[in-house]
Amino acid sequence: MKIGKTLKLIRISRELKQKELADKLGISPNYLSSVENAKREPSLSFIKLVSKELDVPVSFLFLDNVDEESMSEERRTTYQKLKNLLVEFQSLKANNANGKVT
């Protein structure tokens, strides 16, 4: 799974340091780092916890688990656009929640 890559993108878009997010999740920064760098597979309970804390659907964390290599060029382009829009939407949502004007 590539959940860690997506998790890291969301964390960075929210301008959170690993330690900050780890503290909010009640885990060690080392564990968070190992998940983000695909050294450890997160449990379902961890995925649910992250989803709730970052206010993203669980399915959003699985975006990079799609095998883009097997897609046609047209589908791959559409998928990339969708993924970029979802990431941008989550970033805007986070900025609005933090009182930032975008």
Burial of 54 (0-12, 13-18, 19+ CB in 10 A): buried
Predicted model pTM: 0.67
Q: Which domain holds residue 37?
A: 3-97
Helix axes 3-13, 73-97, angle to 10 degrees: 40
Residue of higher predicted confidence among 40 and 1: 40
For the domain that residue 50 is a member of, what is the CATH number? 1.10.260.40
Residue 17 included in any domain: yes
pLDDT range class, residue 87, cuts 50, 70, 90? confident
Q: What is the pLDDT of residues 56-74, one digit of tens each?
A: 888 888 876 667 778 888 8
Residue 81 included in any domain: yes
Residue 102 included in any domain: no
Q: What is the pLDDT of residues 15-62, one digit of tens each?
A: 899 999 999 999 999 999 999 999 999 999 999 999 999 988 888 888
Quote the number of domains for the chain.
Answer: 1
